[in-house]
Structures are given as structure tokens and as C-alpha cells.
Amino acid sequence: MKVLFIGNTRLGDAILSTPILNYYNKKNCKITIICSSLSKNIYSSFSSVKRVITLNKKKRGLHWLEAYNLLEPVKWDLVIDLRNSLLSRIIRKKSIIRYNDRGNEIHKVESYCNLVNLKKGRSPFIPSNKSNRKIVINLINKIKIESPILVIAPITNWKRKNWPLQNYKKLIKKLMRKENKYFSSVILLGSRDESIHCEELKKSLNNLAVFNLAGKLQVLEIYELFKLCSFFIGNDSGLTHLAAASNVKNLALFGPSKSTIYRPWGKNSHFIRTPETYSQLVEVKGYDRFDDSSLMKSLKVQDVFNACLQIIS
């Protein structure tokens, strides 16, 4: 069966949609993926994916015309469109499943799984890769990162949902105290652009074993890294969903985003949010999405620390 899968552009959404892809992967379909460069590595890791077309968004939806010209001139057995795009309306197909959340307030994983009536295997899943695992193990050995390892992703692509770096500094110090040292090493993760902020955090903890790997690993290498670590802490981000998919114990920090929809999914996944609800932070007079100030400042270090201890124990 020839399947066209029009996937997500953002890393987090791509990870949350993997139960659908895994379901059709097991049916030995021949799957063509259309997605962004950010989500390409996630989708391409499935064995039934034979081709991946990456698109950059263009004005007036011209990227869909580009995709149309790149596709095989066939009649698709099934089109799964998570973007509710123009493309899925104009190509030839026998059957189509089109996603439209319509303001649905249920979790994204549930929403995606309901789309294909998936009752089992609803957890996000990414196939393992031995070569990526070997790369990560060699790196850990080379720079002498000792276990147990705490991983932190302190920066997101939206400043309003970043917990202040000063708070991360205090939290790490609490978790690395000599009298109750829960971890031997700390790894900081993020994109290449976020590396400067991770370096700032690392330097503020110069007497501790902190390693800044932001921008130095590919997405699927990070996925294998998580499996070798003991705990992950991060804001609402794609890396948090990647950690959850790896099954490492994790804690996500929420504020101006909806935990009901985007909390990390899985038995080892946990979240804590600001005392204020999403509505109290965002749906208020004078709210500015493009302001640089964090909306996470009211989340106290001690509360996050207590949540960590509860999960660790």
C-alpha cells in the first residue's frame, strides 16, 4: 500500500504523531513523508519510510505547489494529512485521513490516535539506531561524563516559556549537593543558537561537572543519549517530548502553554506548572506574545526541587 504522510513541521508535534506512523510502519506500507527539516530525522527513522520530502514555508502556500511537483504521479492508496493542507485536496487518492483539531482540548497524542482509531500502542515511539547509540557512548567515554547523569534543556524557541537560568542554576546546585548528591554529571542541551545561554549556565556552575552539548548532537543522537541518562528536566519543548519518548524519567515545566494538550506523554513523564493557569497568563489584557520577559518566574525553585525528589524516589 502506497501511503503519503503529510507530517508536522515542529519537532514536538512530530514526536507526538509517531504512534500513527508506527501503526502503518508495522503494516509494511511504502510511505512517502512530507515534512520540515526539523521533523525529518524523526519521521525518516521508520523502516517503511521510503522517501522524505522536506519543505520550507513560502508565501501564498507555494511550498505545497513545490511538493506537488516533487511527488510521484500516482494514485495514492492512503493520504494521511496532519496539516489539513491544500495538497491533500488536489492529489489523486483512494482514501484520505485529514487532521483538524477544531479547538479540541484533549492531549495531542489522544487526538492523533483517535484520528486512525488507534486503541493500542498510543505512546510516541522512535526506532533505535545502533550507530547513533555508539556515537553517544563514545562521546560520553571520551569527555568522561560520569553516571548517574542529569540532562537539562533550559532554553526554548519562545522566551516567554523559559524558566529563568538563575532558577536552573539554583536547582542544579540543590540536586548536586555533596550531602545528597543525586547525580554525578549534568548535560546541557539545546540548539546551536541556544549554546551561548547553556554556556552561561555552565560557567555559573564552574565547580560542578557540567557539560554543554548544545548544538553538538543530532536529534536521533540526543534520543539515544536520553536512554543512557537518569533524569531530564526542561521547559515545554521538542526536546522534552523526545525525552519522554525515550522513556527516561522526566519533568516538564509549564506556564504559558497548555499542559492538558502538550504535557509529556508516558509512564515516566511528569510536569509541574506555574501557580497561574494558562488562561491567567495568556488570556489577559495587555498580553504580548512577542515580549521578551519570561512568564515562568512564579514557578519556585523549591517546588521544582520537591517534584524532582518525588520522581527520583
Q: For residue 196, what are the contacts with CB-CB under 8 A and spacing of at least 6?
A: none
Q: For residue 186, what are the contacts with CB-CB under 8 A and spacing of at least 6?
A: 149, 150, 151, 152, 172, 176, 205, 208, 209, 210, 211
The whole-number pLDDT of residue 273 equals 98
The whole-number pLDDT of residue 277 equals 97
The whole-number pLDDT of residue 22 equals 95
The whole-number pLDDT of residue 152 equals 98
**Cell 520530502 sits on residue:** 53
Tell me the backbone φ, ψ of residue 300, rounded to 5 degrees: -80, 145
The whole-number pLDDT of residue 181 equals 86
SS3 content of the chain, % helix, strand, coil (to 5): 40, 15, 45
Cα angle 102-241-297, degrees, rounded to a multiple of 5: 90
Q: How many C-beta atoms lie closer than 10 Å to residue 163's C-beta?
A: 25
Q: Where are the beta strands (DSSP E) in the chain?
A: 2-6, 30-35, 49-54, 78-81, 96-98, 149-153, 185-188, 210-212, 231-235, 250-254, 269-273
* Structural domains of the chain in order of their starting residue, each with its CATH number: 2-115 (3.40.50.2000), 134-312 (3.40.50.2000)
pLDDT in tens, the chain (313 residues): 999 999 999 999 999 999 999 999 988 899 999 999 999 999 999 999 999 999 998 888 889 999 999 999 999 999 999 999 999 999 999 999 999 877 778 999 999 999 999 998 899 999 999 999 999 999 999 999 999 999 999 999 999 999 999 999 999 999 999 888 899 999 999 999 999 999 999 999 998 999 999 999 999 999 999 999 999 999 999 999 999 999 999 999 999 999 999 999 999 999 999 999 999 999 999 999 999 999 999 999 999 999 999 999 8
Global confidence as pTM? 0.96
CA distance linking residue 49 with residue 32, whole number of Å: 6
Whether 272 and 299 have beta carbons less than 8 Å apart is answered as yes
